[in-house]
Structure 1
Amino acid sequence: MNEALCSILCDQDHWSFDPYVCKAIKFNKDGTGELWCVKDLTYIFAVNLEWKSIPLHKSDEVIETAETKTTANGKPQHLGKLNLEITLNTSVANSLTGGLPNWPSPNEHYLSEAAFRTRSFTATIEKGNFIPDRWIGHEGKFKQRWGLRLLFDKSPYPTREGLKSPDEVPISVDDLDEMATFLARLLPDSETRGKAMNDDSFEADMRIYSSSILIYMK
C-alpha cells in the first residue's frame, strides 16, 4: 500500500465531481467511505462504502509522492497511482444519518443487487489548478479552483447493470458512467487567475477555427 497516497486520498473531506451538485466520493482511513448522488435537490442515493488499496504492479509504481515538488510547465503534477477495491453497501451514508442505526434506506429504490458487488479501479492523483470537467468552456461563470484531482480509470458510480431503472428520471438525466474525475482542496482566490490546467476549450476552439479557415481557403 502506498501510505503517502492513501493519506492524501483520505485527508480530503470529500472529492467532488461537481461541487454545485452533490455528486461526491469520500474515503476514510479506516477503510470506509461514502458515495453521493443528488440531482437538483432530488435525493437519488447516498451509500456507505468499503475500500482497500491493492499493491501496484511494478510497472505502475508511484512516480511522485512528495506534494512539495513544484508543478512545472503549467501541467499537473502526477503524485501517483492506487489500485483500489470498492464495495458499496445498502446503508445510508453516515454523514447523512449521523450514524444512527435502523435509518430507512431509499438507496435500494434505485440500485439493484449488482451495484453492491466489489469492483476494482485504478485511481491517479494529481496536484495542480483544476475546475470540474463540466465547467470546461464555461469557466468565466465560475471563480473557483481546486488543487487536487482524482482520476478513476472508470466511474466509481454503479454501472447500468446496477441501476433498477436506468432510462427513467432522475437516473436517466445523468451519465453516471462518465463521472470518473473528482476534485478536492479548494484553492484561495489568488490562484483563480488564468486558465485552469484541465481547461483545453480555448485550444479546441482554435483548432475548429483553423480548420474552418483552411476549408474556406480551399
Structure 2
Amino acid sequence: MNEALCSILCDQDHWSFDPYVCKFIKFNKNGTGELWCVKDLTYIFAVNLERKSILQPKSDEVTETAETKTTANGKPQLLGKLNLEITLNSSVANSLTEGVPNWPSPNERYLSKAAFRTRFFTATIEKGNFIPDHWVGHEGKIKQRWGLRLLFDKSPYPTREGLKSPDEDPISVDHLEEMATFLARRLPDSETRGKAMNDDSFAGYRGSCSL
C-alpha cells in the first residue's frame, strides 16, 4: 500500500463534488469513511463506508507529496493512483449522528440492497488549481479554487441498480453516475487568477464549434 498517497487521501476533511451542497466523500485513516448526498436541504442519504487499499506495483507508487510544487507547464501534477475496495453500509454517517444515538436511518428510502455491495475503483490524485467540473464555463466573478483533485474511474455513488427509484425526484436530477471527480484543499484568493487547470471552456461556453 502506498502510505504517502493514502495519507493524502485521508488527511483532507472531505473531498467535495460540489462545495455548496453536501455531496462529498470522506476517508479516515482507520479504513472507514462517509459518502453524502444532500441537496437543497433534501436528505437523500449519508452513509458510512469501509475502505481497503489494494497493493500497487512498485512502478505505480507515488514519489511526490501534496506539498510538491505544481508543474511549470500549467497542467495538473499526478501524485499517484490507488486501487480501492469500497463497501457502503446502511447506517447513517457517523458525523451526522454524533450526540444523537437514536437518529433514524432513512438511507434505505432511496437505496436498495445492491448499493451496499463491495465495489472496486482506481482513484487518481492530482495537485493543481481546480474548480468543480460543473462550474466549467459558468465560473462567476467570485472565484474559488482547490489544490487537490480526486478522480475515480467510475462514480463511487450507487449505480442505478442500487437506487430504488432512479428516475424519480430527487434522485433523477442528480446524475449520481457522473459524480466521479472530487476536490479538496481550498486555495487562497491569490491563486484564483486566470483559468483553472480543468477549465476547457471558451468565452463562457464549454466545448468547441464544429465546421
TM-score range, shorter chain: over 0.9
Partner of 2:68: 69
- Classify 1:113/1:207 alpha carbon distance in 2 versus 1 (closer, same or farther; 3 Å): closer
The CA distance in 2 between the partners of 1:205 and 1:112, in whole Å, is 36
Higher percent of residues as helix: 1
Structure 2 regions of 5+ residues with no counterpart? none
- Structure 1 position 41, deviation (Å): 1.1
Partner of 1:121: 121
The CA distance in 2 between the partners of 1:174 and 1:205, in whole Å, is 20
Structure 1 regions of 5+ residues with no counterpart? none
- Classify 1:180/1:103 alpha carbon distance in 2 versus 1 (closer, same or farther; 3 Å): same
Partner of 2:87: 87
The CA distance in 2 between the partners of 1:169 and 1:99, in whole Å, is 31
Partner of 1:166: 166
Partner of 1:23: 23
- Structure 1 position 66, deviation (Å): 2.6
Alignment of 1:22-61 (within 5 A): 22-57=22-57, 61=60
How many residues are paired up?
Answer: 209
- Structure 1 position 142, deviation (Å): 4.1
- Structure 1 position 99, deviation (Å): 6.1
- Classify 1:201/1:33 alpha carbon distance in 2 versus 1 (closer, same or farther; 3 Å): same
TM-score by length of 1: 0.90
Deviation string 1:161-203 (CA, Å, 9 cap, x unpaired) is 0001111100011100000000000000110111000000129
- Structure 1 position 206, deviation (Å): 8.2
Partner of 2:180: 180
Does structure 2 conserve the Cα–Cα contact (< 8 Å) formed by 1:17 and 1:179? Answer: yes
The CA distance in 2 between the partners of 1:138 and 1:107, in whole Å, is 32
Secondary structure in structure 2 of the residue aligned to 1:171: coil
Does structure 2 conserve the Cα–Cα contact (< 8 Å) formed by 1:64 and 1:78? Answer: no
- Structure 1 position 62, deviation (Å): 2.6
Partner of 2:154: 154
The CA distance in 1 between the partners of 2:25 and 2:192, in whole Å, is 24
The CA distance in 1 between the partners of 2:208 and 2:70, in whole Å, is 27
